[in-house]
Structure 1
Amino acid sequence: MNKKNTEISARVEKLIEYLGVTRSDLAKTLGYSRAQSIYDIINGKSSPSYDFFNKLFNSEYSEKINPDWLITGKGSIGRKDYTKPQNDFSLASDHKEDYQTIPLYDLEASAGLVPLFKNGSYDPIDQISIPGIPKCDGAVHVTGDSMYPLLKSGDIVLYKKINNIADNIFFGEMYLISVDMDGEEYIAVKYIQKSEKIDHIRLVSYNQHHAERDVPLSKIRALAFVKASIRINSMN
């Protein structure tokens, strides 16, 4: 067991004290048949697994826990504003990371998706630490209501860049896309489906009030898989 996992195990023990429960209570809430599973994590006999984090962050304790503290040791044990994945849009073939830190970018500051993807030198406005999702390159805030109520303006989408666009589109999946519209960059989150037109794709919204639109493949300036979304609920 490496140093990082040992430190997490120590924080799990502190978390139990913070929640005011016993190890047996935590094991029962997380659906483990015996408390020994929790004892093994705390005593360093086993590493906290994706299953452990997934159950913990979706349990009745989730709103009391600061995931950043548990995973990285940064911040406080609990906080008023709790952030967790709202939706998981990963492919069945995706490998999910136990935990990772994802940079959150300001699209306006980077002057659009294309410069952000090509330049790679923009400083993030924040870092997001989330367990149990596929590897992501970055995150941005959503604007507009084309994917409402699945996504709403202000939500955060976590993405994985696609370099070879023509050969790597999985139709029916959700994407963060930049399209050239008469020299202007149009950025949106859309489903991509096959078009009846040759060398075109069809952009489809979740919100039925938004019409479908066919665009030429040649007009796509940047593309990324949407792997997950986050909605921040402020609790007073």
Structure 2
Amino acid sequence: MKTFYSKQDVLNRLKEAYNIQKDTDLAGLLGISKSTLSNWVSRDSLDYDKVFSKCEHINIDWLLTGRGSMLKSEGVPLMGDKEGGKEEVLPEINYEYKGAPYYNVDFIGGFDLVLNDQTRNPDYYINFAPYNKEGVIWCNITGHSMEPELNNGDFIVMKEMHSPIQYLPAGEIYGIITEDYRTVKRIRMADQKGFVRLIPTNKSPEYAEQEIPVEMIRKVYAVLGSMHRLF
């Protein structure tokens, strides 16, 4: 799965900001166990609330991308700061058709029925340069079956795929729409001809793999990335 930025690099920059060398010390700074930190790294999934809570004087742009100065006090424009003439890196919302549209539509990290179908008009636009492309949209993900890769309440950014599903890269994360539900899962072709297997990330027994016939699928979106709600 493609993400906005390397999560390992984010942790390395946090170490740099605090002059920390050991993962044990970083875990202590964040108030978590070393095993939890190891899980973050191995699964490429961070708790950004905890990370950002230690960034009062750190330039978030630098933390996420490595660009600009480390500290806010060094005059680097922050999100929403137009001074300095530098391009903003962090996403921002607007109602002026700048960026990719955000639809208040839930893709379920599970197989629940979805009743909201607010797909005609976007609530607003999210201006974030890497994803300001034709055919890209933002939606929500609810549920826990794709954790820790995708968390309940995250924004997900997706692009509709038009190739037949059997020719899409196997093992990637996709948004699937049928007549009855919208879900996000990893996909691979099933052994049974004409079926695909939907695979959750969460290994809890309540989130089982499921096979569905290809003919049930109305639309497929490649999930390009996700983020916590930063605004």
Shorter-chain TM-score category? 0.5 to 0.7
Q: Once the 2 structures are TM-superposed, how far is the Cα of residue 205 of structure 1 from its aligned partner?
A: 0.5
Q: Once the 2 structures are TM-superposed, how far is the Cα of residue 151 of structure 1 from its aligned partner?
A: 1.2
* Alignment of 1:138 onto 2:137: yes
Aligned-partner Cα distance in 1 for 2:66–2:78: 13
Q: Once the 2 structures are TM-superposed, how far is the Cα of residue 102 of structure 1 from its aligned partner?
A: 1.0
* Counterpart selection for 1:201 from 176, 190, 196: 196
* Counterpart selection for 1:127 from 114, 125, 128: 125
List, as ranges, runs of 4+ consecutive aligned residues in structure 1 with deviation greater than 4 Å.
57-61, 67-70, 108-111
Contact 2:144/2:202, CA 8 A, preserved across alignment: yes
Q: Once the 2 structures are TM-superposed, how far is the Cα of residue 164 of structure 1 from its aligned partner?
A: 3.4
1:101-120, aligned counterparts within 5 Å? 101-107=99-105, 111-112=116-117, 116=119
Aligned-partner Cα distance in 1 for 2:151–2:173: 15
- How many residue pairs get aligned? The number is 149
Which TM-score applies when normalising by structure 2? 0.53
Give the SS at the match of 2:221.
strand
Contact 1:162/1:168, CA 8 A, preserved across alignment: no
| Aligned equivalent of 2:226 | 229
CA offset digits 1:95-128 (Å, max 9, x no partner):
xxxxx7111001279943xx83xxxxx2211211
Aligned-partner Cα distance in 1 for 2:101–2:136: 7
Report the CA distance shift for 1:179/1:110 in structure 2 as closer, same or farther (over 3 A). Answer: closer
Aligned-partner Cα distance in 1 for 2:224–2:82: 23
Aligned-partner Cα distance in 2 for 1:156–1:149: 14
Report the CA distance shift for 1:167/1:150 in structure 2 as closer, same or farther (over 3 A). Answer: closer
Aligned-partner Cα distance in 2 for 1:111–1:197: 32
Aligned-partner Cα distance in 2 for 1:145–1:130: 26
* Alignment of 1:215 onto 2:228: no
Question: Unpaired segments of 5 or more residues in structure 2?
Answer: 1-16, 18-63, 93-97, 107-113
Question: Unpaired segments of 5 or more residues in structure 1?
Answer: 1-28, 30-52, 85-99, 117-121
Report the CA distance shift for 1:199/1:58 in structure 2 as closer, same or farther (over 3 A). Answer: farther
Amino acid at match of 2:213: P
The RMSD of aligned alpha carbons is 3.8
Amino acid at match of 1:173: E
1:146-185, aligned counterparts within 5 Å? 146-166=145-165, 168-180=167-179, 185=180
Give the SS at the match of 1:218.
helix
Which entry has the higher C-alpha Rg, 1 or 2?
Answer: 1
Identity %: 22
Contact 2:100/2:131, CA 8 A, preserved across alignment: no
Contact 1:165/1:223, CA 8 A, preserved across alignment: no
Give the SS at the match of 2:197.
strand
| Aligned equivalent of 1:56 | 67
Report the CA distance shift for 1:58/1:208 in structure 2 as closer, same or farther (over 3 A). Answer: farther
